[in-house]
Structure 1
Amino acid sequence: MATDMSFVDYVLETARLGGRLTYRKLFGEYALYLDEKVVAFACDNSLFIKPSRAVASLAPELPQGPPYPGAKDYPIADELLDDPGLLRRLIEETAALMPLPKPKKKPAKTSVAGS
């Protein structure tokens, strides 16, 4: 089942991180980014936070499950949608632990034969 856009909007609104928290559609589901770092996934209308020390210290009791078939287990943060402050803090601390995205390589220039 694909995630409803209304669920993604609800997560963004609840986290109260403004334009810093964005999303990209990913195979019918969504990846959530804070300051361009992937911090969570919205899959099947559930919120999966990237596993990290932040989850272990702030919300160790979160249930675990795979966001999609074949994936490793991720903490499921649906219950934090009722606690915007903790959700925001968890997202921010998770982002602080994630590496910066790798720069995209520019395509090599091709030469035109006979020039």
Structure 2
Amino acid sequence: MASSEEFTKYVAEQLSGAGTITYKKMFGEYGLYCNGKFFASVCDNQLFVKITDKGREVLRNPEMASPYEGAKPSFLITELEDKELLCRLATATCKALPEPRPKKRIDKNKEDN
């Protein structure tokens, strides 16, 4: 079952205290970004956050699950009402994740040799 944009928008609003939260549709599901850094996904209308040691400290006893078959496990966040906890988790997770690699720019005017 694909996630709804309505649910994803709600999750993004709950996380908004952590920074600029955006989302992008990906294969019927959504990727979540905080200040441009991918840190979570919404799959089947559930929130999955990348696993980090700092995130584990925030959650203390996190539930883990794979967002889809064959995916790496993530923290499964079932309690979405505690905005403060969600923001602390997003902030801690993003600080622990590496910076995104710059996108390679393709010069369409360059001739192949």
Question: When the two structures are superposed, what TM-score results if normalisation uses the length of structure 2?
Answer: 0.89
Q: Deviations over 1:86-110 (max 9, x none)?
A: 0011001111111111111121443
> 1:90 is matched with which residue?
89
Q: Deviations over 1:4-51 (max 9, x none)?
A: 101111101112338711111111111100111111100000000100
Q: What are structure 2's unaligned runs of at least 5 residues? A: none
Bigger Cα Rg: 1
Q: CA RMSD of the aligned region, Å?
A: 1.9
Q: What are structure 1's unaligned runs of at least 5 residues? A: none
What is the letter of the counterpart of residue 7 of structure 2?
A: F
Is the Cα contact below 8 Å between 2:41 and 2:47 reproduced in 1? yes
**Identity of aligned pairs, percent?**
38
- After TM superposition, the runs of 4+ consecutive aligned structure 1 residues lying more than 3 A away are none
What is the letter of the counterpart of residue 63 of structure 1?
A: E
Q: Deviations over 1:54-76 (max 9, x none)?
A: 22101132211110111121110
In 1, the alpha carbon distance for the partners of 2:2 and 2:64 equals 19
Q: How many residues are paired up? A: 112
> 1:11 is matched with which residue?
11
Alignment of 1:1-115 (within 5 A): 1-17=1-17, 20-79=20-79, 81-108=80-107, 109-111=109-111
